[in-house]
Amino acid sequence: KRNIAIMTSGGDAPGMNANVRAVVRAAIYRGCKAFAIMEGYEGLVRGGPQYIKEMSWHDVRGYLSEGGTNIGTARCMAFRERAGRLISCKHLIEAGINALIVCGGDGSLTGADLFRAEWPSLIQELKDTNEISLEDFNTYKHLNICGTVGSIDNDMATTDATIGAYSSLDRICRAIDYIDATANSHSRAFVVEVMGRHCGWLALMAGIATSADYILIPEKPSSSKDWQEQMCTIVGKHRAKGKRKTIVIVAEGAITSDLQPISANDVKDVLVKRLGLDTRVTTLGHVQRGGTAVAFDRILATLQGVEAVKAVLDVTPDTPSPLIAIEENKIVRKPLVEAVKITKSVAEAIQNKDFEKAMSLRDSEFSE
Ligand code: F6P
């Protein structure tokens, strides 16, 4: 039987609590002990019973719908260094944990993948320096790791949806519905900046769901001249047809084809100067990450938590660490290494201005 730990890492996302609940209860149901690592990788680096806590069935009561993550999260710098991962390895062994489930975004899962790959050398070093006994060295030779993707950004390759993305999308749509009323009353334009880091999924989907006039996303950059021209033509047409409100959604990662960031204020200036529209900027900020999880995220997080426990019990030293994904409405296992690699390649292709490659990488993960 395994001692299975769950941690949440990176930016919190609605549904992370549901994932923790599912992992804890599925682990106990299968006769394992369940643990929570508090404060993400920070808790692993610090170690001890304050940060690595055994969880009972009742400890996660009420978690299903709650927003945020009750076991805490952090963006941990120490874990990025080998020394941080070495001490984390020791702390896991001290707590008797031999399977780890990480619910987080691409950065957190990249960390998990690195930890898994380094584990043999970390444990060897701990044995050579007498930090662990020979018995522990033999007992903890393999750490089973599994990723469940929790992030509002929906930016992880090989999964159709990340836990939290639909809740965040719901928050954005509600906010824009509110803005609509005041925009319409004053016949104003609003430029709404939404999160998503380097991914435009939230902006794109919110644009469709609120019938925004124009959206700017990192995946479809054009020259400054082109986007300004196109936006003004479209907004101008809508206004000519009698539309009293204008909504432009800007992804926080929106860029021009020469990689210059496009800010909400840049967009506002164009609407004011070229179309003479009375324009306001609304940056939704962390409101997008708050609140309870929508039904889809509760279900996704629960099914993925149950599958993650099954996966860590199935994985042998020779099977690659899995990432629990959703593909065409089915909960599936994907190789964690592969998902991290594709996600990184997309970011690199954008950095190298190779937008075609970035798009084809995103397309290929869907057509696989
Ligand atoms: O990754 C989730 C996210 O909300 C991004 O959309 C955003 O860029 C970032 O985290 C904000 O980070 P922080 O909460 O640390 O300011």
What are the tens digits of pLDDT across the range 265-299? 999 999 999 999 999 999 999 999 999 999 999 99
**Euclidean distance between CA atoms 161 and 181, whole angstroms:** 30
Residue of minimum CA distance from atom 2 in ligand 1: 11
* Residue-level pLDDT at 229: 98
pLDDT tens digits along 66-83: 999 999 999 899 999 999
pLDDT at 163: 98
Q: Whose CA is nearest to atom 10 of ligand 1?
A: 11
> What is the model's pLDDT at position 26?
98
Active-site hit among 12, 106, 113, 153: 153
State residue 367's pLDDT score. 43
Query: What is the Å distance from ligand 1's center to 75 Cα?
Result: 10
pTM comes to 0.94
- Ligand 1 center to residue 193 CA distance, Å? 13
Query: How far apart are the CA of 236 and the centre of ligand 1, in A?
Result: 33
Ligand 1 centroid vs 152 CA: distance in angstroms? 9
Q: Give nearest CA residue, ligand 1 atom 11.
A: 11
By most ligand atoms within 8 Å of CB, the mutation choice from 16, 103, 197, 283 for ligand 1 is 197
- Cα–ligand 1 centroid distance for 298 (angstroms): 21
Residue bearing the CA closest to ligand 1, atom 14: 11
Q: Residue 364: its pLDDT value, please?
A: 63
CB atoms inside a 10 Å sphere around CB 319: 12
Which numbered atom of ligand 1 lies nearest the CA of 105? 1
The mean pLDDT value for 174-197 works out to 97
What is the 96 CA–ligand 1 centroid distance (Å)? Answer: 33
Of residues 42 and 365, which shows the higher confidence score? 42
Are the beta carbons of 333 and 310 closer than 8 angstroms? no
Residue to mutate, 153, 252, 283, ligand 1, most ligand atoms under 8 Å from C-beta: 153
- Beta pairing partners, 214: 248
pLDDT of 365 above 70: no
List the single range of 106-120, 205-219, 279-293 with lowest mean pLDDT: 106-120
Average pLDDT over residues 24-48: 97
3-state secondary structure string, the chain? CCEEEEEEECCCCCCHHHHHHHHHHHHHHCCCEEEEECCCHHHHHHCCCCCEEEECHHHHCCCCCCCCCCCCCCCCCHHHCHHHHHHHHHHHHHHCCCEEEEEECHHHHHHHHHHHHHHHHHHHHHHHCCCCCHHHHHHCCCCEEEEEEECCCCCCCCCCCCECHHHHHHHHHHHHHHHHHHHHHHCCEEEEEECCCCCCHHHHHHHHHHCCCEEECCCCCCCHHHHHHHHHHHHHHHHHCCCCCEEEEEECCCECCCCCECCHHHHHHHHHHHHCCCEEEEECHHHHHCCCCCHHHHHHHHHHHHHHHHHHHHCCCCCCCEEEEEECCEEEEEEHHHHHHHHHHHHHHHHCCCHHHHHHHHHHHHHC
**Tokens (6 digits) for 229:** 């021209």
Residues with a CB atom less than 6 Å from ligand 1: 11, 105, 151-153, 195-197, 252, 289
ipTM over 0.90: yes
In this predicted structure, what is the pLDDT of residue 368?
Answer: 39
Pocket test for ligand 1, best of 75, 103, 152 (most atoms within 8 A of CB): 152
- CA of 202, closest atom in ligand 1: 6
User: Angle 336-351/106-128 helices, nearest 10 degrees?
Assistant: 120
Is the pLDDT score of 243 beyond 70? yes
Q: What is the pLDDT of residue 366?
A: 45
**153 flagged as catalytic:** yes
The CA distance from 350 to 345, in Å, is 9
pLDDT band at 1 (very low <50, low <70, confident <90, very high): confident
Question: What is the C-alpha to C-alpha distance for residues 225 and 227, in angstroms, rounded to an integer?
Answer: 6
Rounded Cα gap, residues 183 and 7, in angstroms: 42
What does the pLDDT read at residue 316?
81
Closest atom of ligand 1 to 197 CA is: 8
Give the integer Cα–Cα distance in Å for 81 and 249: 38
Q: Dump pLDDT digits (tens) for 121-178.
A: 999 999 999 999 999 999 999 899 999 999 999 999 999 999 999 999 999 999 999 9
